[in-house]
Amino acid sequence: MVDLSASLPPRTRARTSAASWWERPALWRGLAIPVALLIAWFVVTRLGLISSHLLVSPEKLVALPFVDEAGRHVWFALGESVVRLVAGFAIGATAGIALGLLLGTSQAANRAIGPSVNGLRQITLFAWIPLLTAWFGNGDSSKIVYIALSAFFPTALNTYEGLRTIPAHYLEVARVLQLSWRQRIVRLLLPGALPSIFIGIQIALITAWIGTVGSEYAMGVGRGIGTFMAGGREQFRMDVVLLGVIILAVVGYVINVICGRVFRRLLHWQGSPS
């Protein structure tokens, strides 16, 4: 079938693309529940069915970061959280991919280290907080280590699983061609494991973001979205707490969407990682 859209002017193609985007059934199915909840929220607050101290109206919540002194702090808190997320994720994901490569390419390392890694990943992340605060205090160091742990296990395990799924005859071809160890990793192992690695990175980003807010909330020192929400709880400012929850959800959703689109473009030759 001939694609006639290629002959259209750029502005016409853009309008056509936008129209088809809005006509997607999946888009409206995805919006149905959020819109219904928003309408219910608006009606409940308008009718006064729930105390305004427990649930503020949507319009007041939207204005909160701009007109309220406590609400304005959310921008600084978000910036602090994003910086911690980037630092912790970079450390954890790098270490996780390196360990996954080691376990996936060395039987000796897998037998020696694998059981310990599997044992450690069974520990709930929040159980690390008392130990990390004892070692590093309540400052940024313990938070970044906690975020790194949140990103470490998903990337390590997905890298390892990706290497395990590489067909055995590919490895035989590498032996026949007498590829060096470096050439095997760069030309065979990493490209073959990329879809699984990207899935691990996507999961790690989400868990690291949740870990960022969780560590700030639990450790309660410095600024961040978690600390912002904890302060709102202590002052019984449910509007502040709700604003923090919504920002947490929006940032997580944006991370997920960006990762999905970027990885689909990077893996166009091999298909979507999801």
pLDDT, position 55: 77
How far is residue 85's CA from residue 18's CA, in Å, rounded to a whole number? 33
pLDDT, position 79: 92
pLDDT over threshold 70, residue 18: no
pLDDT over threshold 50, residue 36: yes
Q: What is the pLDDT of residues 188-229, one digit of tens each?
A: 777 778 888 999 999 999 999 999 998 888 887 778 888 888
42-46 long-range contacts, CB within 8 A, separation 24+: none
pLDDT over threshold 70, residue 7: no
Q: What is the pLDDT of residues 60-91, one digit of tens each?
A: 888 888 888 877 888 998 999 999 999 999 99
Q: Between 20 and 186, where is the model more confident?
A: 186
Residue in 149, 163, 152, 171 with CA at minimum distance from that of residue 196: 163
Kindly indicate the confidence band of residue 23, based on its pLDDT and cuts at 50, 70 and 90. low
High-pLDDT (> 70) share of the chain, %: 86
pLDDT, position 269: 59
pLDDT over threshold 60, residue 261: yes
pLDDT, position 204: 94
pLDDT over threshold 90, residue 237: no
Instruction: Tally helices (H) and strands (E) across the chain.
Output: 12, 0
Pick the range with the lowest mean pLDDT from 21-25, 99-103, 210-214, 236-240. Answer: 21-25
Whole-number average pLDDT of the chain: 81
b/e code 210-225 from CB counts within 10 Å (16+ = b)? bbbbbbbbbbeeebbb
CA distances from 37 to 32, 40, 215, 238, 241 (A): 9, 5, 29, 18, 18
* Domains within the chain, CATH numbers bracketed: 69-266 (1.10.3720.10)
101, 158 contact by CB (below 8 A):
no
How far is residue 154's CA from residue 164's CA, in Å, rounded to a whole number? 15
Q: Between 268 and 266, where is the model more confident?
A: 266
Q: What is the pLDDT of residues 138-154, one digit of tens each?
A: 788 899 999 999 999 99
pLDDT over threshold 70, residue 273: no
How far is residue 253's CA from residue 238's CA, in Å, rounded to a whole number? 22
